[in-house]
Amino acid sequence: MNRFLIPGAMLVLALVYPLLVQSLPVYERLGALVLLGAIGASAWNIVGGYAGQVSVGHAVFFGFGAYSAVVVYTHLGWPPIAGAPIGMALSVLLAAAIGVPTLRLSGHYFSMATIAVGELVRVLSSTSEFLGGAQGLGGPAIPRTVFDLSFLSATPFYYIFLAVLVLLLWLTWAIERGRMGYYLRAIKDSERAARSLGVSAGKYKLYAYMLSGAFTSLAGSLYLCMFGFVDPESGFGILISVKMVVMAALGGAGQLFGPLVGALILVPLEELSNSLLGGKGAGLTFVVYGAIIVIIARFLPSGLLSLLGRRKVTRAD
């Protein structure tokens, strides 16, 4: 009973949040941005956290999602959100194509391979006329129907993002408790030991990578619907991959609510520091932002959630 108490309370709080900030559009939007960040980081967490395969190229999937959404609008005239399932399907295929050769690499070599693929796709996208080249593509400037998801307030996005995040976390929870969860953690601890016990490590790593890619792609499509524009840098840029990793690591990688906690800290920190300090034009934002990340990393190397569940973490170790 007790273990549902905190998630339950969090969900209730999440549901009423937009009502609390109703006349403050910036905070409505901030809520949506936190959830969007949490979706991306939670998706990364499946392969990066649970399976311990630190991908630094997840922007590939994010960009695929964002571009799928904008491409169905630009070339077919569909509402961008219709591109989301296409992006997810493509990302699953792409994950298989990238994962089969690269997941055999261990540790840093896997991370390096994912960076290489990410940068390669970014450069290719900037030369593709179909994708708008280096200039990027914009979504519907003026909404045609409600399906274009162009709202004055960020609240509709907030609830869409919340629904996706709940689904994703529920799925992650189900995996965590099931056979696959045990396999993934065994692989993370020692792939060789896991293999010797009969775990098909390659297969399960690939499953995790494909699922992770699909939801990262969905995050990209949702991003496009909200912001209405993507170019190679904002779709495939390495900073997008890095942000997912940092968010998950800061909150607690390999833990269900770790990425959400990371997003709850990092996204407001980023937005508020830019709002308060950005106009001064001295780059102070990044100094403060970076310093806080360093402090958390120094004193809580297993992430913020380790404050709550130290016992659990030691047991998992």
Partner 1 sequence: MVGAAALAAGLVRPALAQDGTVKIGVIYPLSGNSATAGNYSKMALEVGADVVNNGDAELAKLIPLAKGGGLPGLKNAKIQLIFADNQGTPAAGQNQALRLITEEKVAALIGAYQSGITLTASAIAERHGIPFVNGESVAANLTERGFKWFFRVTPVALDFARAYSEFLKAQKAAGHKTDNIALVHENTEYGNSVGSVIIDQFKKDGFTVGTKIAYSANSSDVQPQVLQLKEKNPDVLIFISYTSDAILYTKTMKELNWKPGIMIADNAGFNDPAFVKSLGSQVEGLINRSAFSAGKPGSVPDLFNKIYTKKTGGDELDDVSVRGLQAFMVLADALNRAGSTEPAKLQAALKATDLPAEQMVAGYDGVKFDDKGQNVKAASVVTQMRGGRYVTIAPKARATAEVILPYKGW
Segment contacting partner 1 by CB under 8 A, of 42-50, 178-186, 246-254, 283-291: 283-291
Q: Enter the DSSP assignment of 47.
A: I
Q: Is 226 exposed, middle or buried (0-12, 13-18, 19+ CB in 10 A)?
A: buried
Q: Is 33 in the site for partner 1 (CB under 8 A)?
A: yes
- Output 50 or 236, the one with its CB closest to partner 1: 236
Rounded distance, CA 313 to CA 317, Å? 6
**Per-residue mark of binding to partner 1, 172-211 (x: CB under 8 A):** ----------------------------------------
Torsions phi, psi for 171 (to 5 deg): -65, -45
One of 135, 190, 200, 314 touching partner 1 (CB under 8 A) = 135
SS (H, E, C) 48-80: HHHCCCCCCCCHHHHHHHHHHHHHHHHHHCCCH
Nearer to partner 1, 6 or 134 (CB): 134
Report in angstroms the alpha-carbon separations of 38 from 25, 45, 71, 110, 248: 20, 10, 25, 24, 8
Given a contact cutoff of 8 angstroms between Cβ atoms, the answer to whether 176 and 107 are in contact is no
- Least distance between partner 1 and beta carbon 33 (Å): 7
Q: Which one of 20-28, 187-195, 205-213, 246-254 is the stretch in contact with partner 1 (CB under 8 A)?
A: 20-28
Please name the residues in contact with 245: beta carbons below 8 A apart, sequence gap of 6 or more: 44, 48, 54, 55, 56, 58
28 binds partner 1 (CB under 8 A): yes
CA torsion sign for 56, 62, 67, 70 is: negative
User: Binding to partner 1 by residue 23, rule CB under 8 A?
Assistant: yes
283 binds partner 1 (CB under 8 A): yes
Instruction: Confirm or reject binding of residue 156 to partner 1 (CB under 8 A).
Output: yes
Of the two residues 43 and 95, which places its CB atom closer to partner 1 in the complex?
A: 43
Q: Binding residue for partner 1 (CB under 8 A) from 6, 179, 227, 314?
A: 227
Q: Is 152 in the site for partner 1 (CB under 8 A)?
A: yes
Footprint of partner 1 (CB under 8 A): 18-19, 22-26, 28-29, 33, 126-127, 133-136, 138, 141-142, 150-153, 155-156, 223, 227-231, 233-234, 271, 274-275, 278-283, 285-286
